[in-house]
A and B are shown apart, each in its own frame.
Chain A
Amino acid sequence: MRVNVKLMGWLRHYLREGIEEFDDRDLDLAAGETVGGLASALGFRDELDFLALLNGERVPTERFDQTTLNDGDALVYIPPLKGG
């Protein structure tokens, strides 16, 4: 399935080695991939806190691993920056 993934703020600096830096890309993913699982695969899951919007709606952090992605979804990962 294909999912559009946006990485907001400075998340693109925290991708796993070997993954080319991006901030807006259509990714081909295996069926059953989740919001949390993708963040782990991309490498930033354990690096810093972040929020996720799936098709414009916020996904609660505790449901990251239960929220399955579907073909055509728009997923946005946002680091909760403070201040400025």
Chain B
Amino acid sequence: MGWQQTILRVNLTNGTCTTEPLNMDWAQHYLGSRGLATKYLMAEIDPKVDPLSPGNKLIIATGPLTGTGASTGGRWTAVTKGALTGAIASSNSGGQFGGELKMAGYDLVILEGRSPTPVYLYIEDERAHLLPAEHLWGRSVWEIEPAIKEAHNDPLIRIASIGQAGEYGNRYACIVNDLHRAAGRSGVGAVMGSKNLKAIAVRGTRGVKPHDPAKFMAAVKVATDALASNKGRKGMTSDGTIAMMDVTGGFGALPTRNNREVQFEDAGKLNAKAMKSPNENGHTNLIQNAACFACTIGCGRISHIDPQHFSVKDKPQYQKASGGLEYETAYALGSAVGVGDMDAATYAGFLCNEYGMDPISFGGTLAAAMELFTVGAITLEQTGGVDLSFGNAEALCLMAELAGKGEGFGRDLGLGSKLLCEKYGRPELSMAVKGQEFAAYDGRAMQGMGLGYATSNRGACHLRANPYGADFTSTATEGKAEVVKTSQDLISAIDATGLCLFTLHSGATPEHYAMQIDGACEGDWTLPRFLETGERIWNLERQFNLAAGLTAKDDTLPKRILEEPAPSGVAKGLVSGLKTMLPEYYQLRGWGEDGVPTGETLARLGLK
């Protein structure tokens, strides 16, 4: 059926785990994962609730294609009201955990209330219990994974957990699964920590049955063949997403030193070639690529740090292999903070996984702190004697540890850039939208990306829209509103399937998704219906945000991007044309000038 038609509801206040049938009408209208979980969240919480209060809920969601043989069919989403943003938070992750949870028999796990003491959730097919976790609290993700597996005598358990960052309420704390994959953005880990829930451990052996197996497998073959024959896929497997470093660096879209610049002189030390080339000690950062559940692309990186590097010289526990740099991490722990040191960035990335915090927001917040230091808004007194000049690799590594643990100035960093810059009187230095830090693309060189950042329902995000091709082709604003709106709807639908968004960047067409859903799920899933589902999900998220108190005023960009021209690159001299693009975007969306969906749009989508 694709769907397991079962929800696990976990009341952390009472300590109970119960199952209930999935609302199939909602499944037919919101599909799964990001879409279906948002519908449940909207129905079950007050959008004005404090994200870290027991009244918020955290939904761990799979899609109908999660756990199936569809290529990349392993994704899961954490949906909640975000601790970083106060907006809808929908944070997607890969690895193995999602497939295992779906095979255990669940479409969604709804986590509600707050446990009086630390607990972890253990699921083994139809059995689910909350177990004591006082002995795990205060320990890192990397420590508790083996501890839980050992306690249950089962090395095949898949675990999603929080580290110390989620426990103390770091605003961008994330949920880490399989040691180095993450539901990264918007502080979903802080929400989990506020519920005193340390981990979700799952074993699933029940399998997933598509509605029409023959039709489904035929569709999977077509889609998988398209990925295999895609010319860019070879590069993705070989180089990973870090190949983007050369593109944005060459183009002039690589945010550098808190978006003060758009090209980084040391980008060549953080690119794919640097990752695969021996350094002066003969050490090579990259070991091999890695794939998630059912993935035929394999863009993940497995890396190790040079044992002689300052960051790990006296720390043998960090000299082992683990998840290496993605493009986003290479930016956030590299050009954003002015550090051109691959091993330092890799080490800081390891700590982000270990302590459970979003490296994009950590890097963006540290970049803001470095600019605060540069302009004298903070001094050595606030930083605990640490020189936070841009480019200080030792400070990057130390602050990753302090922010992960919530110690010293790390506690301030754990606020996120918006609250940090407000605290020290320079709010304009936070490069964020709706409180969430920019990703690795500058909105002056990439006009569509700037619009995408401003209008993303979860705050600044590089994954909500797909303006890349249009933006690299032209720096003009014409046509970008249409590209952003259309791709936002398509991506909302893709995110609801349980497949990885990178299929879209590796040869998949919209028809491929619709065909696979049509084979896996009951109901006639045509392409128009699939795309309309995405538009419905987008507008539902918008409704949540409006009810939470966000308005069109929040669909904006920092002053730097709106008013300070890009200093170099293809877009030298340009600022963001948001004020031109946004009215057209609202019109295309069927929203009023106030950014509110019209009655006609809501009625058309069945949202009234």
Contacts and interface: CB of A to CB of B under 8 A. Distances in A.
Q: Do A and B bind each other?
A: yes
Interface of A: 6, 8-10, 13-14, 23, 47-48, 51, 53, 56-58, 61, 76, 78-84
B591 interface: no
Given A78-B472, A82-B505, A83-B504, A9 B243 contact: yes
Contacts of A58: 570
Contact of B250 (A47, A61, A76): A76
A9 B238 contact: no
B235 A9 contact: yes
Given A78-B247, A83-B502, A9 B239 contact: yes
Nearest to B242: A84
A82 B570 contact: no
B244 interface: yes
Interface of B: 231-232, 234-236, 238-239, 241-244, 246-247, 250-251, 272-273, 299, 326-328, 462-463, 466, 468-469, 472-473, 501-502, 504-505, 569-570
Contacts of B504: 82-83
Nearest to B268: A24
B333 to A, nearest CB: 15
Given A48-B232, A51-B472, A57-B570, A83 B247 contact: no
Given A23-B273, A57-B570, A78-B472, A8 B231 contact: no
Contact of A8 (B250, B299, B328, B463): B250
B247 A8 contact: yes
Given A8-B246, A81-B247, 5 more contacts: A53-B250, A80-B472, A83-B468, A83-B501, A84-B299
Contact of A9 (B244, B299, B463, B501): B244
Contacts of A8: 246-247, 250
Interface of A: prevailing SS: loop
Contacts of A82: 466, 468-469, 504-505
Contacts of A83: 241, 462-463, 466, 468, 501-502, 504-505
Contact of A84 (B273, B328, B469, B473): B328
B235 A79 contact: yes
B246 A80 contact: no
A52 to B, nearest CB: 10
A22 to B, nearest CB: 10
Contacts of B472: 51, 78, 80
Contacts of A23: 246, 273
A79 B505 CA distance: 12
Contacts of A14: 231, 235
Contacts of A10: 232, 234-236, 238-239, 243, 272
Contacts of B250: 6, 8, 53, 76, 78
A56 B242 CA distance: 22
A14 B239 CA distance: 13
Contacts of B328: 84
Closest 5 A-B residue pairs measured CB to CB? A10-B235, A84-B241, A8-B246, A82-B468, A82-B505
Contacts of A80: 247, 468-469, 472-473
